Amino acid sequence: MTDAAILERAKVWLSGNYDDATKTAVQQLIDAQSDELADSFYRNLEFGTGGLRGIMGVGTNRMNKYTVGMATQGFANYLKKNFPGQEVKVAIAHDSRNNSRFFAETTANVFAANGIKVFLFDALRPTPELSFAIRTLGCKAGVVCTASHNPKEYNGYKAYWDDGAQLVPPHDKNVIKEVEAIASVDEVKWSGGESLITIIGKEMDDLYTEMVKGLSVYPEVIKQQHDLKIVYTPIHGSGIMLVPKVLQAFGFTNVTVVEEQATPDGNFPTVAYPNPEESETMSIGLNKAKAMDADILLGTDPDADRVGVGVKNHKGEWVLMNGNQTLILAFAYLIEARKTKGIAQPNDIAVSTIVSTEMARVLSEKNNVHYYSVLTGFKWIASLIKEKEGKENYVIGGEESFGLMIGDKVRDKDSVSAVALLCEMAAYEKAKGRTLFDKLIDLYIQYGFYYENLISITKKGMNGQKEIADMMEGYRSNPPVTINGSKVVELLDYELQTGKNLQTGESWKIELPKSNVLQFITEDGSKISARPSGTEPKIKFYFSVKTELHDKAEFDAKFAELEGRIKGIISDMQLK
């Protein structure tokens, strides 16, 4: 878009029905003639399949009252078309980010002005509780205002359907069409339905807590190990509202909350990124855990759907586990515990995603639990649960991005229940004189030593998305013949829904919805996945390598070998 066209788009905001503060801010951008004017107005902030996410500020490409209002009007129009003659109810929650409460109230007002009954949480709450509330209250949809683990400049708007899951086909694309059809802020019903808004809070917290408590498999072990030393950090987010309460309900009596990160604060003053995947973000908690000689450290992101875990390794050193390691421990615990307790069902299923560790499949199938692999994102795990309801019994799902979904009452990743179960798992191992890391090594010996890592490459600005698209096209049209000295034997293209054996030429259809993901499988069993983000101008590369581990004494040497292999892959693909 030309500078003149961008300027014209900005000038619409000077003359239209926008508040004075917004007009002043737009005028300042115009006067400054900076790149920020172009980035704020060169496009409309895209309402993607998960909703909105962007930097806060004025402009069509920013998170603000007007982009949120227009998105909500489009969503409201779709709900009314989809449920004609029915009472439509929605639930709305938000996290600790700057403006999250304002965006949640804006969303509530627009839905209510459209004749939709709204249940709005009285203050910040974890995203999984929003999913639970949708199902509990019989809502047709829901919204949570959050940008998850993004930096503080961002906010977002996640849209949910009546099953408590984020939107999947056909609703995702249909809602996008309705949102894109809103051409002006004048089409938004901003007020007039306030009597349709009901504030909810403690009663939903209590129901959710009771549900999570019901996931406990070994309450008798917790009773014995109630003083397990737990350190928890909410990283200035919404986890503080429920995690301590749920741990108390489970019976844990020795929980230390990291004081420096306990207060909800959208500026996230102690971290660069409020993401428990980042070691820097977990460092304050890690220091606290070391000083106290704790048994386990847990951290949740601002909307409390991701969980980071710290434990002592086989040498007694504190380490942070990656998402795949946490996933494997949780899968093993629930599958083994259900067997031991005699509650395993012949139709039990476990679910993970195409970019997560293959070890989840091996572990599940060797324990006679049917395993499904779905596209990245918990909405696809939720979609599978819906499809299999009444026929197969969902036990657990998870993916590498520090997310778990235990049981089927919440249909999105849930760090609150994950924290509780991980503490129960640590108590179970402690009762045997072991740590979770000891258990992890045992699982590697039993099922194969799988190790994963990932890198993200960000391409900012107007050209960022194009650079990423060009990168994917290059891999698609000219795939590598070898990676790190190992021949590429399979190419899986989820956009074209085809898999191909590069040795024999044989091809097959991938029975999953289209997704812009490429995977290369090499002769030595390595798996490399390339996937552009749906919410940010970045592309992620996931690496999975494996070997055999025969004995605990070999662990360090084998781990170094696998780390070296991933470094070799990154170097060979020139990704740094």
Residues designated catalytic:
148
Local structure of 348: helix, strand or coil: strand
Residue length, the chain?
Answer: 576
Phi and psi of 392, rounded to 5°?
A: -130, 150
Q: Among candidates 333, 306, 334, 336, which has minimal Cα distance to 321?
A: 306
Which residue type does 227 have? D
Angle at 432 between CA 426 and CA 433, to 5 degrees: 85
Q: Which residues are paired to 114 by β-bridges?
A: none
Cα dihedral across residues 165, 166, 169, 175: positive or negative: positive
Tokens 């019901």, residue located: 214
Beta-bridge mates of residue 121: 200
Number of other CB atoms surrounding residue 553 within 10 Å: 9
178: tokens are 């309705």
Which are the contacts of 511, defined by CB distance < 8 A and separation ≥ 6?
A: 497
Which residues have C-beta within 8 Å of that of residue 103, sequence separation ≥ 6? Answer: 63, 65, 68, 94, 145, 155, 157
Bond from prior residue into 170 cis (ω within 30 degrees of 0): yes
- Cβ distance 72 to 141 under 8 Å? no
Helices (H), 148-225: 171-180, 202-213, 219-224
